[in-house]
């Protein structure tokens, strides 16, 4: 995103992109809007008067119409993507152009880090797998789920079922008929269950949670299972610097962190999950519960002193020196917490915090009484909005892009840090 953002318009000020978010072409109805990463386009699915569906982008529809359109969204490189049905079959439409291949069904579009490659889950003739930029896997399977694409877009992976299994066939289930397929090629080992295949940064290795039997769990990396087993495990992560794999593990009823099958954080927590590495791999952070029902963030196994009933959306700065998270109490009174300190103010809802590239500033989108606002370092922008999308920092961290709907108009605002002055 930061590389792409360097070419965006970062001139401070406000521009009205659309006077009205209502599509200017005659239509029966219009669905919710989606906004491009650079804030230059607003799109929505519309049902036209001839009963076909199209995407309306900045008031104009695609030239192509479809029987149905579903789950639209912008890729990181700004292309508009939607799942499309034509003649009873499904494909992906990219900026109005459908893939050449159509499938019995298609869902779960996902993107490489820069958005240049698009993958999706597919089903044909009762067999499941993935398609990469319109090219299906060479092998499809009786079942597939937990889809993933590598950051560089060169590989895809999913958990697959390697043999047919009748309903309630407990013997087959216990024998193990699930594994991970990478680019359509299944691992040789099979498991009772497998989850969350995860690529290393180079897209060459894959790690996944596996269930070995009724009681034992572990991590598998490229078909090789750790030598140690656990009561339970959570999603693995690769260290971007060393290639080592870490995963939260449960031992004797308590949670810790293991690396390549060896304990690196003692199992002393009631919960430990959602771990993240810094870009240099030197900092490992995770959401942990030092006591039952009290959550905090641990940085290299050292928890913050403050705890909260609920924590979610952990975000680590690129250099690993800072962390931000959302906290709430029984799904009310959301707060943004940075480095263990809650910002002043509570909200009906808050969204995942965003760090500037240098880690010195934090932004977040919040909602109170039906109005949306943008906060930076705990201070609110000078006005709120009917609706706002996630804020984006300029590459140098000195400005913030606000994409918002205000009094029916879609506006693009480049705000400077001095524009955030009132307490949130």
Average pLDDT of adjacent 10-residue blocks, the chain of 424 residues: 83 97 95 97 97 97 96 97 97 97 97 97 97 97 98 97 88 91 98 98 97 97 97 98 98 97 98 97 98 97 96 96 93 91 94 97 97 97 97 97 97 97 73
- 420-423 and 379-381 strand pairing: antiparallel
User: Cα angle at 302 between 299 and 307, to 5 degrees?
Assistant: 90
Q: What is the pLDDT of residue 184?
A: 97
CB contact burial 363-390 (16+ within 10 A = b; e otherwise): bbbbbbeeebbbbbbbbbbeebbebbbb
Q: Please list, in sequence order, all residues whose beta carbon lies within 8 angstroms of the beta carbon of residue 263, skipping any fewer than 6 positions away.
A: 249, 251, 256, 257
DSSP 385: B
The Cα-based distances of 348 to 307, 386, 405, 420 in angstroms read: 20, 14, 19, 20
* DSSP for 118-187, written as a single string: EEEEEEETTEEEEEETTEEPSS-BSEEEEEEE-TTSS-EEEEEE-S---TT-HHHHHH--EEEEETTEE-
Q: Where does residue 125 rank: exposed (0-12), middle (13-18), buried (19+ CB within 10 A)?
A: exposed
Structural contact between residues 375 and 336, judged by C-beta atoms closer than 8 angstroms: yes
The Cα-based distances of 26 to 82, 154, 339 in angstroms read: 21, 41, 50
Q: What is the pLDDT of residue 52?
A: 97
Cα–Cα distance measured from residue 159 to residue 196, given in angstroms and rounded to the nearest whole number: 8
Q: What is the pLDDT of residue 424?
A: 64
* DSSP for 178-222, written as a single string: EEEEETTEE-S--BSEEEEEEE-TTSS-EEEEEE-SSS-EEEEET
Structural contact between residues 153 and 117, judged by C-beta atoms closer than 8 angstroms: yes
Q: What is the pLDDT of residue 169?
A: 85
DSSP 391: P
Q: What is the pLDDT of residue 172?
A: 85
Q: What is the pLDDT of residue 166?
A: 84
Q: What is the pLDDT of residue 390?
A: 97
Structural contact between residues 37 and 76, judged by C-beta atoms closer than 8 angstroms: yes
Quote the pTM value. Answer: 0.94
Place of tokens 């499309």: 84
Cα–Cα distance measured from residue 284 to residue 10, given in angstroms and rounded to the nearest whole number: 33
Cα–Cα distance measured from residue 362 to residue 343, given in angstroms and rounded to the nearest whole number: 11
Domain 308-424: which CATH number of 2.60.120.260, 2.120.10.30, 1.10.520.10, 2.60.40.10: 2.120.10.30
Cα–Cα distance measured from residue 42 to residue 23, given in angstroms and rounded to the nearest whole number: 10
Cα–Cα distance measured from residue 381 to residue 104, given in angstroms and rounded to the nearest whole number: 47
């Amino acid at each position: 995103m930061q590389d792409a953002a360097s070419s965006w318009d970062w001139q401070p000020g406000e521009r009205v992109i659309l006077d009205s978010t209502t599509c200017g072409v005659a239509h029966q109805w219009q669905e919710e809007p989606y906004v491009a990463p650079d804030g230059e386009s607003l799109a929505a699915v519309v049902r036209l008067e001839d009963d076909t569906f199209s995407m309306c982008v900045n008031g104009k529809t695609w030239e192509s119409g479809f029987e149905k359109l579903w789950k639209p969204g912008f890729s990181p490189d700004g292309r508009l993507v939607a799942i499309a049905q034509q003649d009873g079959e499904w494909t992906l439409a990219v900026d109005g152009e459908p893939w050449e291949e159509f499938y019995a069904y298609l869902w779960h579009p996902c993107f490489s880090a820069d958005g240049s490659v698009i993958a999706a889950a597919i089903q044909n003739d009762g067999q499941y797998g993935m398609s990469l930029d319109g090219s299906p896997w060479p092998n499809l399977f009786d079942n597939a789920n937990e889809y993933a694409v590598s950051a560089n877009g060169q590989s895809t992976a999913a958990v697959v079922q390697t043999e047919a299994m009748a309903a309630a066939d407990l013997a087959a289930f216990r024998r193990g008929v699930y594994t991970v397929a990478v680019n359509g090629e299944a691992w040789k080992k099979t498991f009772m269950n497998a989850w969350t295949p995860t690529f290393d940064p180079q897209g060459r290795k894959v790690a996944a949670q596996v269930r070995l039997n009724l009681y034992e769990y572990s991590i598998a990396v490229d078909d090789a299972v750790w030598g140690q087993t656990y009561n339970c495990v959570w999603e693995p992560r690769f260290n971007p610097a060393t290639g080592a794999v870490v995963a939260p593990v449960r031992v004797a009823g308590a949670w810790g962190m293991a690396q390549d099958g060896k304990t690196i954080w003692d199992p002393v927590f009631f919960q430990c999950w959602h771990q993240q590495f810094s870009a240099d791999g030197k900092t490992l952070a995770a959401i942990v519960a030092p006591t039952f029902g009290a959550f905090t963030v641990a940085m290299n196994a050292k928890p913050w002193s403050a705890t909260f009933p609920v924590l979610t959306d952990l975000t680590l700065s690129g250099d690993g020196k800072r962390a931000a998270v959302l906290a709430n109490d029984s799904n009310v009174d959301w707060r943004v917490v940075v480095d263990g300190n809650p910002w002043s103010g509570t909200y009906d809802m808050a969204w995942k915090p965003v760090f500037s590239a240098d880690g010195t500033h934090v932004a977040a989108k919040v909602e109170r009484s039906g109005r949306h606002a943008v906060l930076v370092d705990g201070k609110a922008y000078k006005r709120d909005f009917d609706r706002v999308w996630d804020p984006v920092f300029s590459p140098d961290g000195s400005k913030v892009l606000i994409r918002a709907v205000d009094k029916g108009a879609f506006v693009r605002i480049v705000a400077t840090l001095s524009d955030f002055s009132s307490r949130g």
